[in-house]
Amino acid sequence: MPKRLADSDPAKPVSDPIGSGPFAFVKEEWVPGTKIVYKKFDRYVPRKEPPSAFAGGKIAKVDRVEWHIVRDPFTALNGVRSGEFDFWEQPPLDVAINAKSIKGLVVNKVNPLGDHGVFIINHLQPPFDKPQARQALLRMIKQTDYLKAIATDPEYYLPCKSFLACNTPYQTDAGSEVLGADDTATIKALFKEAGWDNSKPIVVLQPTDRPAYNADALIIADAMRKHGINVRLLAMDWAAVRARRNNKTDPMVNGWNLFATDVSALLASNPATNLFINAACDKAWIGWPCDEKIETLRADFVKAPDDAARKKIAEDLNRRAYEYGVYVPLGQYSIPVIHRDSLQGVLSVPNAYVYWNIEKR
């Protein structure tokens, strides 16, 4: 990233995106919300090693990469079947599973660890500015309800109560007993202790163009209603969610209480890279959790002398994350990509999709 961009306000979007190295952004062909174009950057010199995710040689083997933003999944599927499109990044999981039987298509699980699903909590606005309300929320969450709504096939989901993702070195269930401890009387009592009189609804942002996040929003709204909690779903696209989630205002006045998202399980596996567990108040990520104990443990983890010490700190951190209610872990799931069998060299990458090394035959 050029220094002039690195030094710019992080709250403002980059006005002149450049590219990724092997590919250059073609600004004059950009149609926001519809089409993004990259072209091979002839002056890029790759390393001489074989490619390995983000390491090794990044060789652009096609002249152009065009991203077409297609909101209707059936239009996207038909486009891949017909050859109009070559690669579909985030198909609904049920569509991907059914696509296994379609000749000429490959269903490819390119993210081996999957994604760490979460509910982000607004710690600045009632009722979740109080720890009792966050404890009530944790008690309402049964991970399997969310995972099965996203993935009907257990091959693609994993219940995981660790804030530091499962199948990674620092996985731990410490302190997780509260998650899914579904008891209506306790939940109502905790909301009452938090001073919540239920006269205003809890505002949940519902991104209808992201199947996993949309399903999460619908299920949490249903769970709250079953417990007698007043809730309002606000349906919008993901771009609108990303704009609104920056607001710290009243949830009923362009603010929010909850929204679902995810992060690569690889990034979630370490306290230094799991941005959701950052509890540094105004310096934390969206949701703005604020807890000195969490921040001390994160710092101790980075400074720990060996892996045994890090594992002990990870347990203490997981336990404290549940006590404080920093966010809600929803388990892990893997959304495979769908691509035509004419594509060769699609790389397995833990937390992104990359287009170097791909040949179109």
Look up the CATH number of the domain holding residue 289: 3.10.105.10
204 and 328 part of one domain = yes
Selection from 155, 92, 143, 145 nearest residue 118 by Cα: 143
The angle formed by the CA atoms of residues 249, 286 and 124, to the nearest 5 degrees, is: 45
Q: Tell the burial category of 15 from Cβ atoms under 10 Å away from its Cβ (0-12, 13-18, 19+).
A: exposed
176 and 243 part of one domain = yes
**Distance separating alpha carbons of residues 49 and 46, to the nearest angstrom:** 9
CATH number at residue 88: 3.40.190.10
Q: Do residues 240 and 286 touch, judged by C-beta distance below 8 A?
A: no
Question: Which pLDDT belongs to residue 5?
Answer: 86
Question: Which pLDDT belongs to residue 253?
Answer: 94
pTM over 0.85: no
**Distance separating alpha carbons of residues 221 and 4, to the nearest angstrom:** 43
164 and 198 part of one domain = yes
69 and 39 part of one domain = yes
Cα dihedral 354, 165, 241, 220 in deg (nearest 10): 140
Question: Which pLDDT belongs to residue 16?
Answer: 79
107 and 57 part of one domain = yes
CA separation, residue 194 to residues 21, 87, 189, 238 (Å): 50, 48, 9, 30
- Give me the residue label for tokens 């287009």: 355
The angle formed by the CA atoms of residues 235, 241 and 243, to the nearest 5 degrees, is: 140
- Give me the residue label for tokens 């790759």: 46
283 and 321 part of one domain = yes
Identify the bridge partners of residue 290 per DSSP, sorted by sequence position. Answer: 280
207 and 249 part of one domain = yes
286 and 317 part of one domain = yes
**Distance separating alpha carbons of residues 68 and 314, to the nearest angstrom:** 41
Peptide bond into 127 cis (omega under 30): yes
Q: Do residues 152 and 335 touch, judged by C-beta distance below 8 A?
A: no
72 and 126 part of one domain = no
Helix spans in 33-92 (H): 73-82
**Alpha carbon 60 to its chain's center:** 27
Q: With left for phi above 0 and alpha for psi between -120 and 50, is residue 228 left, alpha or beta?
A: left
Altogether, the residues listed in the chain come to a count of 361
**Distance separating alpha carbons of residues 96 and 88, to the nearest angstrom:** 10
Selection from 284, 155, 285, 128 nearest residue 220 by Cα: 128
258 and 350 part of one domain = no
Per-residue pLDDT of the chain (361 residues; tens, 9 = 90+): 788 888 989 888 887 777 778 999 999 999 988 999 999 999 999 999 999 988 999 999 999 999 999 989 999 999 999 999 999 998 988 899 899 999 999 999 898 889 999 999 999 999 999 999 999 999 999 999 999 998 888 889 999 999 999 999 999 999 999 999 988 999 999 999 999 999 999 999 999 988 899 999 999 999 999 999 999 999 999 999 999 999 999 999 999 999 999 999 999 999 999 999 999 999 999 999 999 999 999 999 999 999 999 999 999 999 999 999 999 999 999 889 999 999 999 999 877 889 999 999 9
Question: Which pLDDT belongs to residue 19?
Answer: 75
349 and 307 part of one domain = no
Selection from 58, 50, 114, 1 nearest residue 354 by Cα: 58
Selection from 55, 11, 135 nearest residue 356 by Cα: 55
Structure tokens at 256: 């929010």
183 and 48 part of one domain = no
Domains in the chain, number: 2
User: Could you list the residue range(s) of the whole structural domain that residue 65 is in?
Assistant: 3-111+336-360
Angle between helices 211-226 and 143-150 (to 10 degrees): 140
